[in-house]
Chains A and B, each alone.
Chain A
Amino acid sequence: MIAELGQFALIMALLAAISQSILPLIGAERLDSRLMAFGSHASLVQLLFVILAFGCLTQAYIVSDFTLLNVAENSHSTKPLLYKISGVWGNHEGSMLLWVLILALFGAAVAAFGRNLPVTLKARVLAIQAMIGVGFLTFLIFTSNPFTRLLVPPENGQDLNPLLQDPGLAFHPPMLYVGYVGFSVAFSFAIAALIEGKVDAAWARWVRPWTLTAWIFLTGGIALGSWWAYYELGWGGWWFWDPVENVSFMPWLMGTALLHSAVVVEKRNSLKVWTILLAILTFSLSLIGTFIVRSGLLTSVHAFAVNPERGIFILILLAIAIGGSLTLFALKAPALKSGGMFSPISREGGLLLNNLLLSTACATVFLGTLYPLFMEALGGGRVSIGPPFYNKTFIPVMVPLFFLVCIGAYLPWKRADLVGVLKRLKYAGLAALLALLIAWYISDGGPLLAILGLGMATWMLLGTLSEWADRIKLFRAPLAKSWQRAKNLPGSSWGMTLAHGGLAIAIIGMISTTAWKVEDVAVLKPGETLSVAGTDYRFDGVKEITGPNYSAVEGTFNVSQDGVYMATLKPEKRLYTVKRMPTTEAAIYSTFVGDYYAVIGDPDGKGGWTVRIYREPLVTWIWFGCTLMVFGGLVSLADRRLRVGAPADKRKKKKVREAEA
């Protein structure tokens, strides 16, 4: 009964979305305030019905209702409650339902928070948002119904893929989806602006917080995913340039560009057409990401079950959304008036350069991800593109970007004095050189590129800090006064310092662990010791343990350095009983300077066990840096100016009107 209720709720949500996508548009055209206001009500109704549907499916998972095909295929009665719930979105149908839920949530949020949006703009934004909803609700109901019943329900379910039974992965998809889907708001705003034929500072001020919210979640989601890969897959790696990773990374790169270019629209009324295009492309890449994971277009380690019929449906959906919006762009964008002029060396120029570099980086990832497909279509056979491609194309684009980050932060609007800026960065430059020498000394002249990279990341970190110090006149004014200035610093300024600093720290982690990782594989008998990078790992044997839905062997390692005890590591090798799928559970001892990482493999039949030990220098800096970036985004989002932006603009308009009169 509850499943039928869920099915019914989905259909009601679709009807709400259909009316929401038509009536407000007509209202905005005819300036009919009742029709325009309908959009806000419909978006709330749509949200309530999607919540109801999602609740119904969650209930089916919690009580293990195996009369539902979806539950029977992806759950099991012995599964812990957390994974029963996360199992709701650990499959194609449920994850699409989550996608639609988040979309409806963002639509309703625009309706609720957008009280002082211009009414026509708001009506159009909600209508566009609803159109996306119509597409995906149709897709859900007609090709991916999560509420399909089984005529003969099985005794028990087939269990969730064991790799997904992990706390990190329970929260990774929802965060990623909030990121993907959050860009839909920027997209809807861009389309609405194209329809209205007007882009102004108020528009940018509205777009920024939504883009920022999406960006925060996407950053968090990607970081969580890479952290999961690091400790769950047992390879000691954190990024594999896998197509599915790439499709989450591309909207991130574009979204980062959008975040920066929206500032220029807001502050200087410039780069408008470009910002509109970025908003369309960012969400288009999110859509393509959702599509690629589900269509079976590319080979990947973590793709959903492939169904060609679904693939065609979602491809047509995407063609309408992306093709339609870009057609509108081609028709309407040339008429948009461009704003203030600026010299190449200025903050606008810096942000434009940032945009160009990020877009180029995104294009290289796009090319690398889809190159195998293009080659195959042209008859070149199957090829695979690995890290060497990205090392040669992506990194060279990112290097100048990282180098310029802290210079750009110093540049004033309109026109800047580059020599003056560089003079103020001289201490950061000297310190970066020093860091470079220290890295060279410690690593005995190790890989040159890694050492240069570390120097550059240090430059970025210290340059960012020095800009912050200059702003609050640290050491040049009394500390109390600096403190006062720091407190008065706007949230967006704090956010920038935190995000740029976090990026630099993450890069230091990435470079160090890539260049100086040490790994060793050996067969050890209990009592034997393996020495890796100066640390001793004594193998104390294995024992068999049993979890709720798996059995496992657990190895014990005593980790010590120069005879001083450091930690006990207990890696596991699990066999999930239902799916009969083995997984490795690495044991990691994390410290500030690096991780000690142990994996237990197979027995050799003579009392020995294959063990793999990794020493990963500074690897936790990657996720610490990402956390700082997320935190920076949150601080910036809390900036009062973003929230009360629209009224401020009204005052300006009033002044303009007065001046005109």
Chain B
Amino acid sequence: MSAKRKVIFALPLLITVVIFGYFFWALTKPGRDPKILPSVLIDKPAPEFDLKALDGLNVPGFARSDLISNGKISVVNIFASWCIPCLAEHPDMMKLGQRDDINLYGINYRDKPEDGLAWLNKNGNPYHRVGRDPKTRAGIDWGVYGVPETFIVDATGTIRYKHVGPLNTGDLEGTILPIIDSLQTQ
């Protein structure tokens, strides 16, 4: 009876020890970042697609084959003229577009081609290739659920990273560029 009673009073402590074991595990496990949502596409080959160019823009459209043709790492950015956050991250894209050791491709998502063209003419076109996706066919295959989104695809055409929403202050230098660098040295 007395021993049983002791166990009952120690029960809260025992449960707490177990819960703290979990906390400790989660904090010390290397590389665990809860902010990265699991994406089914990470480490999977990029989907098949073939997007036409925006008429009047001086860069061509692109297809899946363009992701693996020149041995460079590709950054695929989903943008639209109606998307205000896209404008917010546009300066980061302009910076990224100046690098010639990577491909920067844009998918003009759920947009009228003339609006997408006007937007790029007004704000500047950072992209080496731009494909138009007015009916969101490619967007669905890429698993787009918010615009803008940014994917990093390695030279074999495998998606390695996905960023949902605009690149905020520090995301480019803190996250995107280090990933590109680490993929380049691999």
Contacts and interface: CB of A to CB of B under 8 A. Distances in A.
B179 interface: no
A377 B37 CA distance: 16
A125 B35 CA distance: 40
A573 B81 CA distance: 16
A377 B32 CA distance: 11
Contacts of A318: 20
A277 interface: yes
B97 interface: no
B20 A381 contact: no
Contacts of B38: 381-382
A582 interface: yes
25 contacts: A295-B27, A297-B23, A297-B26, A297-B34, A299-B35, A299-B37, A306-B35, A308-B27, A315-B20, A322-B16, A323-B16, A323-B17, A329-B9, A329-B13, A330-B9, A334-B5, A373-B23, A373-B26, A382-B37, A382-B38, A579-B168, A579-B169, A580-B169, A582-B84, A605-B82
A329 B12 contact: yes
Contact of B168 (A277, A295, A581): A581
Given A308-B27, A575-B88, A580 B20 contact: no
B85 A582 contact: yes
A334 B12 CA distance: 13
Interface in B117-155: none
Nearest to A384: B37
Contacts of B84: 573, 575, 582, 602
Contact of B22 (A311, A312, A370): A370
A648 B44 CA distance: 74
Most buried by A among B13, B37, B168: B13
A299 B13 contact: no
Contacts of A165: none
Contacts of A323: 13, 16-17, 20
A309 B27 CA distance: 9
A69 to B, nearest CB: 14
Which interface class (under 10, 10 to 19, 20 to 34, 35 or more) fits A?
Answer: 35 or more
A603 interface: yes
Interface of B: 5-6, 9-10, 12-13, 16-17, 19-20, 22-28, 33-35, 37-38, 81-85, 88-89, 111-112, 115, 166, 168-169
Given A582-B88, A605-B81, A315 B22 contact: no
Contacts of B115: 605
Nearest to B116: A605
A116 B25 CA distance: 46
A281 interface: yes
A299 B164 CA distance: 14
Nearest to A319: B20
Nearest to B28: A312
Contacts of A573: 84
A366 B115 CA distance: 49
Contacts of B12: 277, 280-281, 326, 329-330
Interface in A323-378: 323, 326-327, 329-330, 333-334, 370, 373-374, 376-377
Contact of A377 (B16, B22, B34, B89): B22
A649 to B, nearest CB: 27
A602 B82 contact: yes
Interface string A220-249: 000000000000000000000000000000
A604 interface: yes
